[in-house]
Every structure is written in C-alpha cells, then in structure tokens.
Structure 1
Amino acid sequence: MPTLIFIAIAGFAAQLVDGGIGMGFGVTSTTLLIFLAGLGPAQASAVVHAAELGTTLVSGFSHWRFGNVDWKIVFSLAIPGGIAAFVGATLLSNLSTEAAQPITSGILLLIAINLIWRFSRGHIKRTISNKPHAKPFLVVLG
C-alpha cells in the first residue's frame, strides 16, 4: 500500500512539472519512483509507461479530432521510432538490474541537466518557420 501512495505522489508531482514547463512527466516520475518508492528502474519505467498509455491515447485522439495530425510526419517518426524502441527494449531486457541501474540513472541525470540548463537561462525566443523538416531528419529523430 505505501508503494501505491508513493506512485500516486510521484504522478501528481510529475504532472505539476509537466503542466508547468510542458514536459517532464517521465523524467520526474521515474526519478521519484526510483528514489522515493524504492522501485527498480524497470519497474519505474513500466509504471510510467502504463500511465502514459492512457494520457497519450487521449491526447492523440484529441489532436486527431482537431486536425492537428500530419500523417506523413507521423509515419516518418513512428516506423523508425518503433524499430528503435524495440531494439532498445530488447537490449535493456537482456541487462541485469545491477548493470541497468547506473545506465538508467546516468540517462536520467543527463536529461535533468539538460532540463535545468535549458530553462535556467531565462526566456528563450523561438523562431517559427513554415519550412517542413527533411525526411532524413524525421527518420533519425524517430
């Protein structure tokens, strides 16, 4: 029961961060689940991805209904992204928990440093371009 309470607290805190800066649900909740709830990296990842299934489904449906989906870009990202996700999950599942923990912690640390660096420099002016992204860029990004 205490683990479920920690999972709920981690989800609440992560959603506050996500709503405040527009990202960070996975980073925040995974970190909190590893350090506060005592879950292993694989367990924390499973909990976060299970929670994201519902939110992503609703978000995707909403964007589709409002006409915000460019299917060419979706397929350019989804196919290589799906392949890379499969390869990454296969590699990670073949690592022992002891070997995966420093790797996962290192990745989370790098993401945290990136977030702090990006958002600690003040307001960043973004330029909006109508030029579409090149297909090779989208494939690598996926």
Structure 2
Amino acid sequence: MAVSIGELAPDFALEASNGETIKLSDFRGKNIVLYFYPKDMTPGCTTQACDFRDKHSHFADLDAVILGVSPDPLARHEKFIEKYDLPFILLADEENKAAEAYDVWKLKKTFGKEYMGIERSTFIIDKAGKLVKEWRKVKVKGHVEEALEYIRENLS
C-alpha cells in the first residue's frame, strides 16, 4: 500500500539513536524530513547524511526535523552518528515496518543478484502530519538542497 500526497503520513514507532522509542506523530507541529536510506557507512548514504548534517541548521530555522531511517541496528547508527557528527535522529527499522508502510522496501538488483532493500526516498510531512512531497529513487547529489528549498517555498 503506497502512501499518497495529501493524506496523513503513516505513523510508526521505532527505536531511535537518542535511546528512545520514537513515533512519527511525536513530531506533530513541526515539519518533518523523513528519509529512508539503504545502509550506514556506505558512500552514497554517508554523502547524503553529511549533506543533511551540513544543512541541519537551515532545516531547523524552518521548524523542520530530520529523521533518517534504515534497516541498520542502533549500534551501527551510533557509530555512524559518532563518526560523521550527525546532529539528527536515526531510526532502526530492522523489521522494515516503516519501509513497507512508505513502500520503499523493494526488490533490487545488483550485478544480476536480486535482493530486498531500501529504495532511497525522502518524504516531507507538514505540521499537521500530512504527506506533502515525496522523492523516490533519490539521487544524492543536490537532493538535500532540493528538499530544503521545497520546505522554504511551501511550508515556511
């Protein structure tokens, strides 16, 4: 079941890098950048996380929180945050429940090998909890600026 623009974003509860169990609905009243990525410490995911890190204060100025979601366990998230000084929360979706709710858990193919994994995607959720923008099959270069510009132009 795919999530649709204009509808309430599917809620979920996941273990977070801050030691809490976080629900998406905990952030009502703020704009949310919910981004799904395949794996901590890989080149594309590291670039994307560092781009979000470098623009973090700009998102905060627009009353937007950044939440990164991957299937990695909390221990790996903690190493990723520490190594790259990430100032936002990472969520551990080890059972892919959030990924399935957002229809980003997909059959992928690399070098002829098929496997299930995260399709890099970003969702913008407004202060009322509605999905207002989505990017699927995200290309990392320039994406964070595009997300920031969308919020600046439409939600500030």
| Structure with the higher strand share, 1 or 2 | 2
| Structure with the higher helix share, 1 or 2 | 1
TM-score band, normalised by shorter chain: under 0.3
Larger Rg: 1
Normalised to the residue count of structure 2, the TM-score between the two structures is 0.25
